Structure 1
Amino acid sequence: MDADLLSDPFLGYSRLRERSPMVQVAFGGAGSPLWLVTRYEDVRAVLGDRAFVNSPANVPGLGLKDVRETTVRSMGVADEYAPYLLSTVLDADGEDHLRLRRLVARTFTPRRVQEMLPRVQEITGDLLDRLPVRDGVVDLVEHFAYPLPITVICELVGIPEEDRGLWREWGAALLRQDEPEGIGAAVAGIVDYVTELVGRRRAEPADDLLTALIRVHDEDGSALSGFELVTLVLALVLAGHQTTAHLIGNGLVALLDHPDQLKRLRADPSGLMPGAVHELMRWCGPVQSTRFRFAAEDVVIGGRILRKGSPVMASLVSANFDPRRFDEPHRFDITRQPDGRREAHLGFGHGLHYCLGAALARQEAEVAFTALLERHPHLSLAVPGDDLDRARMPGVWQLRSLPVRLTQE
Structure 2
Amino acid sequence: MAVLDAPALTDPELLADPWHVFGRLREQAPVLRSRFGLSGDEPPIWLVTRYADVRAVLGDPRFVSDPASVPGGRDSRQEMMTAMGITADLAEYMTRSVVTVDGADHTRLRKLVSRAFTVRRVGDLRPRVEEITNGLLDGLAGAPQPIDLVEAYAYPLPITVICELVGIPEEDRAAWHVWGRDLVSTDPARVPGALRAAVDHIHGLIARRRAEPTDDLLGALIRTHDEDGGGASGADHGRGDRLTEFELVSMVLALVFAGHETTAHLIANSVAALLTHPDQLARLRDDPDLWPTAVHELMRVHGPVSITELRYATEPVEIGGVEIPAGAAVLPVLAAANGDPREFADPETFDVGRRAERGEGHLGFGHGAHYCLGAALARQEGEVALRALFTRFPSLELAVPPEELVWEPVPGFRRLAALPVRL
In which range does the TM-score fall when normalised by the shorter chain? over 0.9
CA drift of 1:267 comes to: 1.3
Counterpart residue number, 2:182: 173
Q: 2:122 maps to which residue? A: 113
Alignment of 1:88-99 (within 5 A): 88-99=97-108
Quick check: 1:185 aligned with 2:196? no
Q: Which amino acid letter does the alignment assign opposite residue 323 of structure 2?
A: I
Which one of 194, 208, 214 corresponds to residue 202 of structure 2?
194
The residue type paired with residue 42 of structure 1 is D
Identical aligned pairs, as a percentage? 56
User: Counterparts of 2:141 and 2:13 in 1: how far apart (Å)?
Assistant: 34
**Deviation of residue 2 (structure 1)?**
2.1
Contact 2:74 2:327 in 1 (8 A): no
Aligned to 2:12: 3
Correspondence for 1:207 among 203, 212, 215: 215
Deviation at 1:26, TM superposition (A): 1.1
Pick one of 76, 93, 104 that aligns with 1:67. 76
**Pick from 81, 89, 102: which aligns with 2:90?**
81
The corresponding residue for 1:33 is: 44
Within 2, Cα distance between the matches of 1:83 and 1:140?
A: 34
Indicate how the Cα distance of structure 1 residues 52 and 84 shifts in structure 2: closer, same or farther if over 3 A, else same. Answer: same
Question: Does 2:62 align with 1:51?
Answer: yes
C-alpha RMSD of the superposition: 1.4
Identify the residue that residue 408 of structure 2 maps to in structure 1.
391
Match of 2:252 in 1: 233
TM-score by length of 2: 0.92
Q: 1:338 to 1:9 in 2, by over 3 A?
A: closer
Cα offset, 1:132, TM superposition: 7.1
Shift of 1:63: 3.4
Q: What one-letter code is carried by the residue in structure 1 that aligns with 2:360?
A: E
**Contact 2:146/2:421 (<8 A) preserved:** yes
Which runs of no fewer than 5 residues in structure 1 stay unpaired? none
Letter in 2 for 1:348: F
- C-alpha contact 2:72 2:327 (8 A) present in aligned 1: no
Report what 2:295 is aligned to. 277
Q: Is the 8 A contact 1:132 1:138 kept in 2?
A: no
What is the correspondence of 1:255-334 to structure 2 with a 5 Å cutoff? 255-269=274-288, 271-334=289-352
Residue-by-residue CA offset, 1:311-350 (whole Å, 9 max, x unaligned): 10000000000000001111000010279x9401000000
| TM-fit CA distance, 1:204 | 0.5
**1:224 aligns with one of 243, 253, 260:** 243
* CA contact 1:292–1:313 (8 Å) conserved in 2: yes
- The residue aligned with 2:167 is 158
**Within 1, Cα distance between the matches of 2:356 and 2:410?**
33
How big is the shift at 1:394? 1.4
Does residue 347 of structure 1 match 2:364?
A: yes
Asked whether the equivalents of residues 308 and 332 of structure 2 are also in contact (C-alpha less than 8 Å), the reply is yes
Q: Which runs of 4+ in 1 moved over 6 A?
A: none
- Counterpart Cα distance in 1 of 2:189 and 2:325: 36
User: Once the two structures are superposed, what CA deviation does each residue of 1:190-211 show, in whole Å capped at 9, x if it has no partner?
Assistant: 1110011111101111110001
State the shift of 1:135 in Å.
Answer: 4.9
Shift of 1:70: 1.3
| Higher mean displacement: 65-74 or 223-232 | 65-74
Cα distance, 1:78 vs. partner? Answer: 2.4
Query: Per-residue CA shift, 1:247-302, capped at 9, x if unaligned?
Result: 00000111111110000101121x10000000000011001001111001121111
Q: Is there any run of 5+ residues in structure 2 with no aligned partner, and where?
A: 1-9, 232-237
* 1:18 matches 2:19: no
Instruction: For 1:84, give the aligned amino acid.
Output: Y
CA distance in 2, matches of 1:124, 1:7: 31
Deviations 1:77-123 (A, max 9, x none): 12321111111111100000000000000000000000001000000
- Does the 8 Å CA contact 1:175/1:391 hold for their aligned counterparts? no
SS at match of 2:312: strand
**Structure 2 residue matching 1:404: 3-state secondary structure:** strand
Q: 1:352 offset after TM fit, Å?
A: 0.2
